Structure 1
Amino acid sequence: MENENPEAFYKRLREQLGESTTWPSNYLYKFIVQSDASKVDQIHRIFDNTGAVIESKRSKNGKYTSLSITVNMKNPDDVIAKYKEVGKVKGVISL
């Protein structure tokens, strides 16, 4: 996504999700963030009260934390809204 206009990326993602998935559906988000408790907490709060299952794992040297978040989403627009919300957390990498 780095070399691409974010809106073009999200438009393509919306189309792909619409074609490949029957909604509502479980969706797996994967993020990497520096192992800063406040950043990890920010991401947790974004998914509060959604029924999300969040697994976190620190890197071998402890510098980064990977977050795998499985949550039932209503449609592709809801999936993209969460990506945009998490994207506001400084330094987060979406996979």
Structure 2
Amino acid sequence: MDENNPVEFYKKLKEQLTETSKWPSDYLYKFIVETKTDKIDKINTIFDNTGAVIDLKESKNGKYTSVSITVNLKSPDAVIEKYKKVGEIEGVISL
């Protein structure tokens, strides 16, 4: 994500999602977080009760965890809303 201009980033993302997918659609999120924190629990809470499939994979040394989340969402705006909520968690890297 372009941290210098998140408004422009989300505008471009919405355009791309609108052009490339029919909605509702499955969307795959990927995040990287430090393993020994409560950040994974916070991400899980954001996607709780959405029917999301969450896959966790620790790095070789165990310091970081890859969080892959597949969820069916109604619109590009719903995708962006989740990105913004996860973005409020300090130290989470969105891929």
**Which category of TM-score, normalised to the shorter sequence, fits these structures?**
over 0.9
Runs of at least 4 residues of structure 1 off by over 3 A? none
Aligned to 1:39: 39
Tell me the equivalent position of 1:53.
53
Q: Which residue of 2 aligns with 1:15?
A: 15
2:27 counterpart letter in structure 1? Y
Match of 1:81 in 2: 81
Shift of 1:62: 0.6
Question: What are the ranges of 5 or more consecutive residues in structure 2 without an aligned counterpart?
Answer: none
Percent of aligned positions that are identical: 65
| Counterpart check, 1:29 vs 2:43 | no
Q: So what's the TM-score if we normalise by structure 1?
A: 0.96
| Residue 14 of structure 1, CA deviation | 0.2
Structure 1: how far apart are the matches of 2:87 and 2:3? 16
- Number of residues of Structure 1 aligned to a counterpart in Structure 2: 95
Q: CA RMSD in A?
A: 1.0
Q: Where does structure 1 lack aligned partners over 5 or more consecutive residues?
A: none
- What is the correspondence of 1:64-79 to structure 2 with a 5 Å cutoff? 64-79=64-79
